Amino acid sequence: MSAEPVTTDPAAAAEAAVGHDPHATSTGLSHTKLAMWVFLGSECLLFGGLVSTYLLYATRGNGRTLPAEVFDIPFTSVSSFVLLMSSLTMVLALSAVSRGEPESGRAWLLATALLGGVFLGGQVYEFTAFVREGVGFTTSPASSAFFTLTGFHGVHVALGIVMLMSLFVRSVKGNLTKKNSETVEIIGLYWHFVDIVWIFIFTVIYLIPVD
Amino acid sequence: MSIIEKPEIIEKPEVEKPDAPPLELEAGEVVRHAERPLGVFTRPQGGRGWRDWLSTVDHKRIGILYGVSAMFFFLVGGVQALLIRLQLAVPDGSVLSADVYNQIYTMHGVTMVFLFIMPLAAAFANYFIPLQIGARDVAFPRLNALSFWIWLSGAIFLNTSWIVGGGGADCGWFCYSPNSGVAFSPSHGVDFYAIGLQILGLASLISAVNLIVTCLNMRAPGMTLMRMPIFTWMLLITQFLLLFALPVITVALFLLMFDRVFDAQFFNVDAGADPLLWQHLFWIFGHPEVYIIILPAFGVVSEVIPTFSRKPLFGYEFMVFSGVAIGFMGWGVWAHHMFVSGMGPISVAAFSLSTMFIAVPTGVKVLNWLATMWGGKLRFTVAMKFAVATVAMFTIGGLSGVTHSVAPANTQHTDTYYIVAHFHYVIFGGGVLGLFAGLYFWWPKIWGHFLNERVGNWHFWMTLVGFNLTFGPMHILGLQGMSRRIDTYARGYGFEFWNLIATVGSLLIAAATALFIWNVIKSRREARHLPPPGPDPWDARSLEWSVPSPVPVHNFDTVPQIRSRDDWWHTKYGEGADGSVVRLATAEEAAQTGEAQDVHLPSPSFWPLAVAVGLPLIGYGLIFNLWFALIGALIAVGSLYSWALEPVDDPDAVHDHHDDHTGHDDSSGPPPPPPESPETPPPAPAEAAS
C-alpha cells in the first residue's frame, strides 16, 4: 500500500479517504467487514463473562433444583444440530448471492432464518419446560445465570434473524446483487459467530456434568 | 530533496459534476436538495446553525461536542468534589448528611471517570485521529454521531437520578455487592447507575469499533503502522482496551440490574451467591479502565514534549510497544484491587508480581520522555508545562502505585486516603493535566486562535499547586489511618490539619478552573486583534499541522503521501551536508490551503440523535414502568431502520449505482445499500435485553 502514488484526482482522493472500495483501505478489508470482526472480538468477552458467571454458580441451587438436573440433552442436541445446519444454509446463501442467483439466495436466506427460528422455538419450549419443573429465573444463582446466559444467546439469534429477514426484503426489492454480496458475508460472520458461541455453550454448559 | 513541492490545489470541479448524487455535500457549499425519508425528517444540509450541530457527522464537530460536554461535567464533578472537601475541612463537618455524602462521592467518581475524562479523551480522539492519519473523517461518520448522542443521553439519564430517582447512587463508583443490593441501597440511585453505565458503555463500544477501523483502514498512503503518530497509537490501544473491557462491565451491570429490577439471585448471599463475582467482573473492566484513562494523556504528552523540545520522540518504537505492553498487562493485574477480599495467597502473590511488572513499561515511557527533553531546545509554553507536570505527577502516582503492589502493605493501605491520594495522582496528575496540555497545544488548531499564555500560566501554576495541596496531604492522612468514604471524623485523631490543607488546595483548583474558563472567553475575544496562528504555530511534527487552522471541513485538499515518521516535520526540514538541520520550506509554504472544492463529504443525519433519544426511555421504563421501555425501544429500532434506509451519499455506493445501471433511478428507486447496516443491529443486544 505504501507505494501508492499521491493522487490529485479529487474523486480518487475522496475514495481513498472515504474508502469503501476494498482496494482503497489500508488493510484491504472493507470498513464494514473489519468493523464486524472487531465487534465480534468484543462479543467474545461478553459471552466469556456470562459463561464464567454460570460456571461459578452452576452448583449453587439455593436448595432447589439445579438447571443441570433438568437438562434434556437429546432435545437440546437436536436443536443445536438445527442451529449448526443454519450455518450451512448461510454459506449457501452467500454463495448463491455472490454467484448472482438472487432467487436461490433468497431461498437459502429464508432457510437460515427458519432454522434459527426453529432453534429459538426450541429454546422457548426448553425454558417453559424448566419453569414447569421448578427452575425459574429467580430460583437460585445457578438458574439466574443459566437463563441470563442462554437468554443473551437467544437474543443474539433473534437479532440475527431480523438481519437475515432485512436482507431477504432487500433481495426482493432487487437490492441484493452480486456487487454487494459482501453484506451477506458480513451478516454471515455474525451468524456463524452466534453458532460457534452455541457450540461452546452446549459443550461447556450442557455436556460437561456439574459437581 | 531540494525544495518541497507545493501541494496541488484542485482548481476545477472535475467532470464528476453531472454524476454527483443528490446528497453529495461539497466543501463550503450548501446543498439545496432535500429528501424526506419516511416523511419524518428533512434530510439535513450542511450549515452553521445550531440545528446543524444536532445532525452533524463531521468528526471535528463531534469532537467539539464531546469536549464541551466533558468540560461541563468537569464542573459538575468539581462542585461535588468541593462539597466533599467542605464537609471534611473540619472535624464533625455538617455540610452534608452521611447519606447525601455517600451519593456525592459516588457521583463525583462516576462523573469524573465516565462523564469527564473518557469523553474528553474521546474529544481528542475524534478530532485528531483522522487528521493525524490523513483521513477526511472516521470510518463510520454516522455511527460516530451515534456514539456521541448515546453518550450524552446516558450522561443526562445518569444525572436525572438526582431528580426522579431519589438521589444519586450511593455505593461508591465501584458499587460493591451486596452494598448495591436493594436491601442496602433502596433508592433508585443504583438502578440509574447500572443502566446509565450500560448506555455510556454502549456509546464507548460503538466509538471503539469505529476508531479501530479508522486507524487500521484509513491511513493515508505510505502511513504504515510504525509511522503513525504516537497519539494515534495510544488512542488505538485505548480503543482496543475499551473494546474488550466494556463487555465485561456490561455483564456485571446486567447482573446487577437483573438482581434489582427482576429479582435475579446473582448477588443474593442468602441464596448462595458470591459477592466476589461482582468485584472480579468490575475490576477486570476497572483495571484496563485505568489505562483507558491514562493512555490518551500519555499520547498527548508524547506529542507535546517532542514539539517543544524540537527533537523527535526518543525511542518511538519503545513508546509504541510499551503502550501495547501496558495494554496487554493491564488485563493481568485486576485483582490487586482485591487483596483484602480473602481470595487466597496464591492469587495475591501472582497479582502482586504482575502489578510490579506493569510498572516497567510505564517506566520506559517516563524515561523516554526525559530522554526526549534531554539536550532539546526546550520551550516552556503552557502546553509544555502541563506535559512536564504530567510526567512528574504521574511518576509520583506510579510510585505510590508500586507500593500498593506489595500485598502486606496493601492490606494496610486499602480503603484509606493513601489510595485516594494515589489514584488522584495518576488520574488527575496524569490524565487530567495531560489532557489540559492537549487543550493548550491543540487549541489554535481547533479554534484558530491561541489560549492566552499569561493567563494560562496562572492556570497552570494554580492547578499544580492546588493539586499537590489537595492530594499530597492525603498520603499522610491515609498512612495515619483515615478511612476513605467516611463522611466525617472526630477531633483528636490528628486529621484536622491536613484535611484543612486539602480543602484549601481544592479551592485553589476551583479558582484555577475558573481562570481557565475566563481564559477561554478572553482569548476568543482578543483573537480578533491578534494575527491568526497559521497552520503550524508550534512548528510541530504531525499531519494535523499541515492543514489550516481552524481545520477546513474537508480536512485535506489532497490526501497526503507519507514518506516517513513525522512526515510533516520532514516536509519542513531536511539535513544539510554537515548534518545540521536545514529548513526546506516554511509551514505556510508547505501547508495545504484548505481551498479545495467539490470534496465528497458524508451528509449529516438526524437519525443518530433519534436513536439515542430512545435509550434513556428504555432505562426509565425498566425502573418505573415498562411502557416507557416499549416506547423507547420503538423509537430506537424505528430510527435504526430509518437510518439504514436513509439514502447514503457514500461515493462507492453511488458509483455502484451508476456503474450498474440496474434500471433504478437515483431519486425514486429503492435506496442504495446501507453500508452501515451490519453495524447498526449489533448494538441492539444491549438495548433489546435492557
- The packing angle between helices B453-479 and B382-405, to 10°, is 10
- The packing angle between helices A181-201 and A73-99, to 10°, is 170
pLDDT at res. B41: 53
Report the first-to-last Cα separation within chain A, whole angstroms: 55
Query: At B583, which helix (H) or strand (E)?
Result: strand B581-583
User: Does A32 sit within 8 Å of B271, measured CB to CB?
Assistant: no
DSSP secondary structure of chain A: -TTPPP---HHHHHHHHH--SGGGSSSSS-HHHHHHHHHHHHHHHHHHHHHHHHHHHTT--TTS--HHHH--HHHHHHHHHHHHHHHHHHHHHHHHHHHT-HHHHHHHHHHHHHHHHHHHHHHHHHHHHHHHTT--TTS-HHHHHHHHHHHHHHHHHHHHHHHHHHHHHHHHTT---GGGHHHHHHHHHHHHHHHHHHHHHIIIIIISPP-
Best to test chain A binding among B558, B656, B660 (most A CBs inside 10 Å):
B558
User: Does A42 sit within 8 Å of B244, measured CB to CB?
Assistant: yes
What are the residue ranges spanned by the domains of chain A?
31-207
User: Does B664 sit within 8 Å of A39, measured CB to CB?
Assistant: no
Distance from CA of A85 to the nearest CA of B (A): 22
Burial zone of B406 (CB within 10 Å; 0-12 exposed, 13-18 middle, 19+ buried) = middle
Predicted confidence pLDDT, tens digits, chain A (211 residues): 344 444 444 444 444 444 444 347 888 899 999 999 999 999 999 999 999 999 999 999 989 999 999 999 999 999 999 999 999 999 999 999 999 999 999 999 999 999 999 999 999 999 999 999 999 999 999 999 999 999 999 999 999 999 999 999 999 988 888 888 999 999 999 999 999 999 999 999 999 887 6
Across the interface, which of B209, B656, B664 has its CB nearest the CB of A38?
Answer: B209
Over 90: is that where the pLDDT of B690 sits? no
Over 50: is that where the pLDDT of B11 sits? no
* pLDDT tens sequence across B302-352: 999 999 999 999 999 999 999 999 999 999 999 999 999 988 999 999 999
* pLDDT tens sequence across B277-296: 999 999 999 999 999 999 99
Bridge partners of residue B573, in order along the sequence? B583
Under DSSP, is residue B49 helix (H, G, I), strand (E, B) or coil?
coil
Write out chain A residues lying below 8 Å of B245, CB-based: 45
User: Does A10 sit within 8 Å of B10, measured CB to CB?
Assistant: yes
* pLDDT tens sequence across A54-104: 999 999 998 999 999 999 999 999 999 999 999 999 999 999 999 999 999
Cα B197 to Cα B195: distance, rounded to the nearest angstrom:
5
Cα A162 to Cα A160: distance, rounded to the nearest angstrom:
5
Over 50: is that where the pLDDT of B240 sits? yes
Best to test chain A binding among B19, B24, B209, B666 (most A CBs inside 10 Å):
B209
Residue position matching grid coordinates 444536532:
B54
Over 80: is that where the pLDDT of B651 sits? no
Residue position matching grid coordinates 548534518:
B579
Cα B665 to Cα B657: distance, rounded to the nearest angstrom:
9
Binned at pLDDT 50, 70 and 90, residue B572 comes out as very high
Cα B289 to Cα B394: distance, rounded to the nearest angstrom:
16
Cα A34 to Cα A21: distance, rounded to the nearest angstrom:
13
Q: How far is CA B354 from the centre of its chain?
A: 27
Over 90: is that where the pLDDT of B688 sits? no
Across the interface, which of A32, A45, A190 has its CB nearest the CB of B675?
Answer: A32
A12's CB contacts (< 8 A; 6+ apart) are none
B462's CB contacts (< 8 A; 6+ apart) are B508, B509, B511, B512, B515
* Single-letter amino acid, residue B466: G
Between A and B, how many residue pairs show a Cβ–Cβ distance under 8 A? 229
* pLDDT tens sequence across B43-53: 555 556 777 88
Burial zone of B17 (CB within 10 Å; 0-12 exposed, 13-18 middle, 19+ buried) = exposed
Cα B1 to Cα B571: distance, rounded to the nearest angstrom:
10
pLDDT at res. B107: 96
Per the CB < 8 A criterion, the answer to whether B547 and B594 are in contact is yes
* Single-letter amino acid, residue A206: Y
Cβ count near B481 (within 10 Å)? 13
Cα A177 to Cα A186: distance, rounded to the nearest angstrom:
15
Q: Across all residues in chain A, what is the average pLDDT?
A: 89
pLDDT at res. B47: 59
User: Does B271 sit within 8 Å of A62, measured CB to CB?
Assistant: yes
From B562, which residue of chain A is nearest by alpha-carbon distance?
A: A2
Query: Phi then psi for A168, rounded to 5 degrees?
Result: -60, -45
| Architecture per CATH, B325-530 | Up-down Bundle (1.20)
The sign of the CA dihedral B90, B95, B100, B104 is negative
Distance from CA of A153 to the nearest CA of B (A): 9
Pull the grid cell for residue B582: 536545514
B217 and chain A in contact, CB less than 8 A = yes
Label residues B212-234 b or e (16+ Cβ within 10 Å = b): bbbbbbbbbbbbeeebbbbbbbb
Distance from CA of B308 to the nearest CA of A (A): 30
Q: How far is CA B156 from the centre of its chain?
A: 17
pLDDT at res. A23: 45
Ramachandran region, residue B9 (left: φ > 0; alpha: ψ -120 to 50; beta: rest): beta
Over 70: is that where the pLDDT of B686 sits? no
Looking at residue B341, the DSSP 8-state letter turns out to be: G
pLDDT at res. B648: 56
What are the residue ranges spanned by the domains of chain B?
325-530
A31-207: in CATH 3.20.20.70: no
If one compares B688 and B58, the residue with the highest pLDDT of the two is: B58
Across the interface, which of B137, B272, B562 has its CB nearest the CB of A140?
Answer: B272
B430's CB contacts (< 8 A; 6+ apart) are B294, B297, B298, B390, B393, B394, B397
Per the CB < 8 A criterion, the answer to whether B615 and B147 are in contact is no
Binned at pLDDT 50, 70 and 90, residue B205 comes out as very high
Write out chain B residues lying below 8 Å of A159, CB-based: 681-682, 684-685, 688
Distance from CA of B535 to the nearest CA of A (A): 21
pLDDT at res. A57: 95
pLDDT at res. B273: 93
Best to test chain B binding among A31, A170, A178, A193 (most B CBs inside 10 Å):
A31
User: Does B682 sit within 8 Å of A10, measured CB to CB?
Assistant: no
Q: Across all residues in chain B, what is the average pLDDT?
A: 87
HSE-CB for B522 with a 13 A CA cutoff: 12
HEC secondary structure over B362-405? HHHHHHHHHHHHCCCCCCCCHHHHHHHHHHHHHHHHHHHHHHHH
Name the percent of chain B lying above pLDDT 90: 76
Alpha helices in B428-549 (DSSP H): 433-447, 453-479, 496-526
The per-type count for chain B, helices as H runs and strands as E runs, is: 22, 2
Per the CB < 8 A criterion, the answer to whether A16 and A24 are in contact is yes
Q: Report how far apart, in Å, the C-alpha atoms of B212 and of each of A33, B235, B295 are.
A: 12, 9, 15
pLDDT at res. B643: 87
Pull the grid cell for residue B491: 477531633
Write out chain B residues lying below 8 Å of A10, CB-based: 10, 13-14, 16, 596, 598-600
Over 80: is that where the pLDDT of B666 sits? no
A81's CB contacts (< 8 A; 6+ apart) are none
Mean pLDDT confidence for B98-127? 96
The sign of the CA dihedral B637, B639, B640, B646 is positive
Nearest to residue B308, comparing CAs of B130, B540, B143? B540
Over 90: is that where the pLDDT of B453 sits? yes
From A137, which residue of chain B is nearest by alpha-carbon distance?
A: B264
Over 80: is that where the pLDDT of B642 sits? yes
pLDDT at res. B602: 81
Per the CB < 8 A criterion, the answer to whether A139 and A68 are in contact is no
Per the CB < 8 A criterion, the answer to whether B351 and B299 are in contact is no
Binned at pLDDT 50, 70 and 90, residue B589 comes out as confident
Least confident of A82-91, B11-20, B69-78: B11-20
If one compares A169 and B601, the residue with the highest pLDDT of the two is: A169
B652 and chain A in contact, CB less than 8 A = yes
Query: Phi then psi for B450, rounded to 5 degrees?
Result: -75, 160
